[in-house]
């Protein structure tokens, strides 16, 4: 079947997935959601748009962090601030931004991801002459439809910020590459979380403690993220310049040399910070930074491929080995 038709079909799967995810996350409040849906058949679609818009707004708001870092770090150095201290802090701020991107995608979209993996989304597809490849495309199209605004916003905002504040083509391309790695890593992690949730919630009936714990954890995650971003915008961002100009609170040479070996979120942040500040990288750090970036590319690629494979195995009901599997709806 043509991709255009599969893309159109995936929109209905996305709506089913969002409904299933919301019902599972609601727990004992499922009836209330169903009542709202009876009164307004566009209720779920409105909720889906709202989740994506709010997530995108938070990511755009969070990008103020790297924007301020690029602007204030160079000002601090020109005023005589300790270069190693400024380099360390700017790398930490960028790492914080990368982690917030990751957390926003996973926490805000994890129940939708579980919904896409639910067989209930696909029962009605038995009426279509779909191949295994068509089903695979529909799954990915549905996932992308549900998170596309968060995905695209997370991909674009950092390179755009770098381009505006540094006016460097090289740094902009580098920021785009790092953003791409972060987004695909987050996407793979999101699918992995969805698979875990599917296993946990697939047994209908009595509510388990694990299911209740996950719902509470999701709600707490929402609140923590929202509060962290709001408090960061109110208290942290206005003080970035002051923090960068402050006297070193501790020696940072050791941390600057060995933190970059951690692939996420430090390796990309350290590389971007070093180039934007024209920091003279010590030989030891060149080695750890190179190792960290290679490991990040490798792990992101490996995780994405393994997640894709696991995704189709879960949808096939077989998760044991490399034996070819067939989608249960295909006859």
| CA 159/CA 253 separation, integer angstroms | 28
Q: Structural domain boundaries of the chain? A: 3-26+36-251+308-316
Give the separation between CA 44 and CA 42, rounded to whole angstroms.
6
Q: At 198, is the pLDDT very low, low, confident or very high (cuts 50, 70, 90)?
A: confident
CA distances, 150 to each of 85, 214, 224, 232 (Å): 33, 22, 19, 20
| DSSP secondary structure letter of residue 124 | G
Whether the per-residue pLDDT at 204 is higher than 80: the answer is no
pTM: 0.79
What is the Cβ-side half-sphere exposure of residue 106, based on CA atoms within 13 angstroms? 23
| Dihedral angle over CA of 286, 287, 292, 298, nearest 10 | 120
Are the beta carbons of 77 and 277 closer than 8 angstroms?
yes
* pLDDT exceeds 70 at position 72: yes
Give per-residue pLDDT as tens, 78-128.
Answer: 888 888 888 898 899 889 888 888 887 887 788 888 888 777 777 777 777
Residue with the larger pLDDT of the pair 297 and 230:
297
Backbone torsions φ then ψ of 248, nearest 5 degrees: -55, 130
The first and second tokens of residue 117, run together, are 């993996």
pLDDT tens digits for 146-184? 888 778 888 888 888 888 887 888 889 999 999 999 988
SS3 state of residue 86: helix
7-11, 57-61, 312-316: lowest mean pLDDT where? 312-316
* pLDDT value of position 178: 92
What pLDDT sits at residue 295?
92
What is the distance between the alpha carbons of residues 132 and 136, in angstroms, rounded to a whole number?
Answer: 6
pLDDT value of position 323: 38
């Amino acid at each position: 079947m043509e991709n255009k038709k599969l893309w159109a079909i995936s929109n209905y799967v996305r709506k089913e997935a969002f409904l299933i995810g919301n019902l599972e996350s609601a727990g004992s409040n499922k009836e209330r959601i169903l009542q709202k849906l009876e009164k307004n058949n566009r209720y779920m679609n409105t909720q889906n748009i709202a989740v994506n818009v709010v997530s995108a707004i938070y990511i755009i708001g969070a990008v103020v962090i790297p924007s301020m870092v690029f602007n204030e770090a160079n000002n601090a150095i020109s005023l005589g601030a300790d270069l190693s201290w400024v380099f360390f802090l700017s790398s930490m701020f960028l790492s914080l931004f990368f982690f917030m991107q990751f957390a926003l995608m996973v926490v805000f979209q994890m129940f939708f991801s579980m919904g896409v993996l639910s067989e209930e989304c696909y029962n009605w597809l038995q009426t279509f002459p779909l191949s295994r490849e068509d089903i695979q495309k529909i799954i990915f199209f549905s996932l992308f439809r549900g998170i596309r605004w968060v995905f695209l916003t997370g991909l674009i905002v950092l390179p755009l910020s770098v381009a505006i504040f540094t006016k460097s083509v090289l740094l902009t391309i580098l920021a785009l590459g790092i953003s791409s790695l972060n987004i695909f890593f987050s996407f793979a992690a999101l699918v992995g979380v969805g698979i875990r949730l599917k296993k946990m919630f697939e047994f209908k009936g009595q509510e388990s403690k694990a299911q209740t714990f996950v719902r509470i954890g999701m709600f707490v995650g929402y609140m923590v993220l929202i509060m962290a971003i709001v408090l960061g915008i109110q208290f942290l961002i206005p003080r970035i310049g002051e923090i960068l100009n402050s006297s070193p609170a501790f020696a940072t040479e050791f941390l600057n040399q060995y933190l970059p070996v951690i692939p996420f979120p430090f390796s990309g942040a350290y590389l971007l910070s070093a180039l934007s500040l024209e920091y003279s990288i010590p030989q030891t750090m060149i080695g750890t930074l190179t190792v960290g970036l290679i490991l990040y590319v490798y792990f992101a690629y490996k995780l994405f491929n393994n997640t894709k494979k696991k995704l189709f195995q879960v949808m096939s009901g077989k998760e044991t080995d490399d034996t070819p599997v067939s989608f249960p709806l295909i006859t």
